Homo-oligomer: A and B are copies of this chain.
């Protein structure tokens, strides 16, 4: 029996081995099914998965081509900060610096994308790795969307860890940037002179409703955000 995985692997080999160049047409499903001695459904599944990966481009009547990949994706895995630190073999530490319920003013309403005047929970926390400042977190949580957050004190559980036990989200936005530190960051993160911060900002929504906005600042000289990918090698080729 010819499996769709083996067909995927063979097509990939053909691309990597330059049997088909980017932009080139590969045979249609019917021909491939005859070549491999399997049904068209099996070929279809293989080609469809390669198209989902961005490796092929398919259009009815026009056929299937090797994609010209002009943009290259990098998938960043953003973990809970605790597991990020513990997985690197370091000891995790957590301090809640500030906790306050406030009404959204125009500045914070814009950040979290919630209506002005609605109640927000504002938290500031410091995360440490082996006692060294690792991340300064400044977070707003919409109490309209997540009213139960009002009853959590966040002294022992970080907001990130609490949030993942709650609802899923349906939309998210991440912004990464490099910035000069503000006074609090310089002090709390014990930055050296001229050391910038690496900033991650994240907003999440469930349907149209804003859930949370968070700004995560890391010391620039020690923090690296890394993404590794094996694009094609997920099949067991001999």
- Contacts from A to B (Cβ < 8 Å): 15-16, 18, 22, 55, 68-80, 83, 164-165, 167-180, 194-199, 206-207, 218, 220-221, 223-233
| Contact between B78 and A172, CB atoms less than 8 A apart | no
Residue contact A195 to B172, C-beta cutoff 8 Å? no
The smallest C-beta distance from A19 to any residue of chain B, in angstroms, reads 12
17 further A-B pairs in the complex, CB-CB below 8 A; given A171-B228, A178-B197, A180-B195: A68-B164, A70-B80, A71-B79, A71-B80, A72-B78, A74-B78, A75-B76, A171-B230, A171-B233, A172-B231, A175-B227, A176-B198, A176-B225, A178-B198, A178-B220, A178-B223, A194-B194
A-B contact pairs, 30 of them (CB 8 A): A16-B206, A16-B207, A55-B168, A69-B168, A71-B80, A73-B76, A74-B75, A74-B172, A74-B174, A76-B76, A76-B176, A169-B231, A170-B232, A171-B228, A171-B231, A172-B229, A173-B228, A174-B227, A175-B224, A175-B226, A177-B178, A177-B220, A177-B224, A177-B225, A178-B179, A178-B218, A179-B221, A180-B196, A194-B194, A196-B220
**A76 contacts B77, C-beta separation under 8 Å:** no
Query: Assuming A175-B225, A180-B196, A196-B196, is B74 touching A18 (CB within 8 A)?
Result: no
Taking CB atoms, residues of chain B closer than 8 Å to A228 are: 171-174
Q: Which of B173, B224, B225 contacts A226 (CB 8 A)?
A: B173
Q: Are A196 and B168 in contact (CB under 8 A)?
A: no
Instruction: Give the residues in chain B near A176, CB-CB below 8 Å.
Output: 76, 176, 198, 224-226
User: In whole angstroms, how far apart are the Cα atoms of A167 and B172 in the complex?
Assistant: 33
CB-based nearest B residue for A164: B70
Q: Give the number of times this chain occurs in the complex, counting copies.
A: 2
A178 with B165: CB separation less than 8 A: no
A220 contacts across to B, CB distance below 8 A: 177-180, 196
